[in-house]
Structure 1
Amino acid sequence: MPFFSARDGTSLFYRDWGNRNGTPIVFSHGWPLNGDNWEKQLVFFANNGYRAIAHDRRGHGRSDQPWEGNNVDTWADDLRQLIEHLNLKDVLIAAFISSCYPYMEAKHFTANGQDGKGVPSEVFDHFRDTMLQVRADFFIEVPSAPFFGFNRPHVTKNQGLIDNWFQAGMLASLKAVHDTTYSWQLDYTKDVSELDIPTLVFHGTDDQVVPIDTGYAAAKLLKNCTAVFLDGAPHATPDLRADELNAELLKFLEK
């Protein structure tokens, strides 16, 4: 299996699928999952002539579980090192999919003069406390309800997705999944507003994890943005709305 070593010696696992001479598209997963979460996208783009790549972030999946480095700056540096390791050129990595950027905490909407609905600070405290006390129970509760939207009356629960999410979450380092929650409380306005490359924002309007208002805020800040807001879609669009996501990504990339 392919691994590479980051500068601090951390071994990181990655998938490198499709046409090695094709345009590379790189996917970076979220909490508390790993690169397997992008399988539907990896297969789709590999079948369409792209070189499709996804790694397991440090502390997740098959990668090492170091005590330090569970923060945005280190994740970005790890990703840059992967790109350098594979000698990738003209890499496509320009989509915010159900993303927490530029901010998701309620206080940042207020601080930035936005009327959007953010996540109260006590929710993040609850996540951290519950993970430390009863991680297994919590990692059943999250996919069973808000992550996939299975708590909505019109949605049919898929036990396989719940079990797969639980397995990925429990495979990850407790330290990593705990520390990651602090990154959700930061304000990335400056970083997002400075991006001038074409960028896709893809967000479900019924996202119960990262509010849709975060997607709206990103679309306003980005200088060169294509925004797709899926009516009624949950947070887990790569799983539950994969066909629509793949089609929008392909259309965006082929412009």
Structure 2
Amino acid sequence: MPSVITKDGVEIFYKDWGPKDAPPIVFHHGWPLSSDDWDAQMLFFVQNGYRAVAHDRRGHGRSTQVSDGHDMDHYAADAFAVVEALDLRNAIHIGHSTGGGEVARYVARHGQPAGRVAKAVLVSAVPPLMLKTAANPGGLPIEIFDGFRAALAANRAQFFLDVPTGPFYGFNRPGATISQGVIENWWRQGMMGSAKAHYDGIKAFSETDQTEDLKAITVPTLVLHGEDDQIVPIDDAARLSITLLKNGTLKTYPGFSHGMLTVNAAVINPDLLAFIKA
């Protein structure tokens, strides 16, 4: 399997599809999933003439189940190891959920001004900060994330069924069209990864303040968010992020869930393509 070794010895699995001389798009997946979560986007963009690259975050998917380094700094550095190994330049970086935080940290720390990043997209992304604090009163209470940790530690397999069956794709909403395949694919991806990485990752996605990352980004950045996102509520995420970005565009989707990239790919993919081509 194609992989790179990071400076601290972690093997990071990646996919590299499409012509090597085509414009590259780098995809950064959400918690607790893998690069497989981008199937609908990677196939779409390869068919539209792009090079699609996606990696499994450390401790996730087919990458090494290492004990440490489950934080935004390491996530971004691991992504850079892939980009550097493939020598990707003027790439578009697209991140979903925790992957959106990874993109923000990556662009702020590794993408400017070296010419590595052309544009960025944050989809249902966790920045600037999910946790409720005195400075972020609209955030979610720590008890919610403590509950995630408790459920994961007690019965990860059941927890990883409950999330996609319920709020992640909005399958708990009246009249929702439920896909058992989507639920089981979410579970499959999650259970491939490390419980330790997933447990530590909850702190990474909920408690990392990325205000300064967003302020540091100068490339054109598209922020996409579902208005019925029950995992990362839009008001304290996308609607705050857009006020911090120097060159940002916000597009929201009434009724769309946190998992809209999968269940609403027919709507989201053309919007991504239009932004990339602009």
**Normalization by structure 2: what TM-score?**
0.88
SS at 1:81's partner residue? Answer: helix
1:128 and 2:139 aligned = no
**Residue equivalent to 1:206:** 228
**Residue equivalent to 1:64:** 64
SS at 2:225's partner residue? Answer: strand
Please report how far the alpha carbon of residue 124 of structure 1 lies from its aligned counterpart in structure 2 after TM superposition.
0.3
Aligned residue type for 2:135: A
Please report how far the alpha carbon of residue 237 of structure 1 lies from its aligned counterpart in structure 2 after TM superposition.
1.4
**Residue equivalent to 2:275:** 252
- Written as runs of structure 1 = structure 2, the 5 A alignment for 1:1-255 is 1-93=1-93, 94-107=120-133, 110-112=134-136, 117-183=138-204, 184-213=206-235, 214-255=237-278
1: CA distance between counterparts of 2:143 and 2:276?
39
Over the aligned positions, Cα root-mean-square deviation in angstroms equals 1.1
Q: Is the 8 A contact 2:72 2:208 kept in 1?
A: no
Q: Deviations over 1:169-215 (max 9, x none)?
A: 11110000000010112221111112111001010000000001111
Aligned residue type for 1:98: S
- Deviating more after overlay: 203-212 vs 131-140: 131-140
Q: Deviations over 1:58-104 (max 9, x none)?
A: 10111111001111000100111110000111111101111001112
Please report how far the alpha carbon of residue 106 of structure 1 lies from its aligned counterpart in structure 2 after TM superposition.
2.5
2: CA distance between counterparts of 1:132 and 1:14?
28
SS at 1:227's partner residue? Answer: strand
1: CA distance between counterparts of 2:258 and 2:131?
16
Q: Deviations over 1:133-167 (max 9, x none)?
A: 11111111111101011100021211111111111
Q: Between the two proteins, what is the percent identity of the paired residues? A: 45
Structure 1: 5+ residue stretches without partners: none
SS at 2:162's partner residue? Answer: helix
SS at 2:215's partner residue? Answer: helix
1: CA distance between counterparts of 2:135 and 2:49?
44
2: CA distance between counterparts of 1:53 and 1:186?
25
Aligned residue type for 1:79: A
Aligned residue type for 1:169: G
Which runs of structure 1 show a deviation greater than 2 angstroms over 4 or more consecutive aligned residues? none
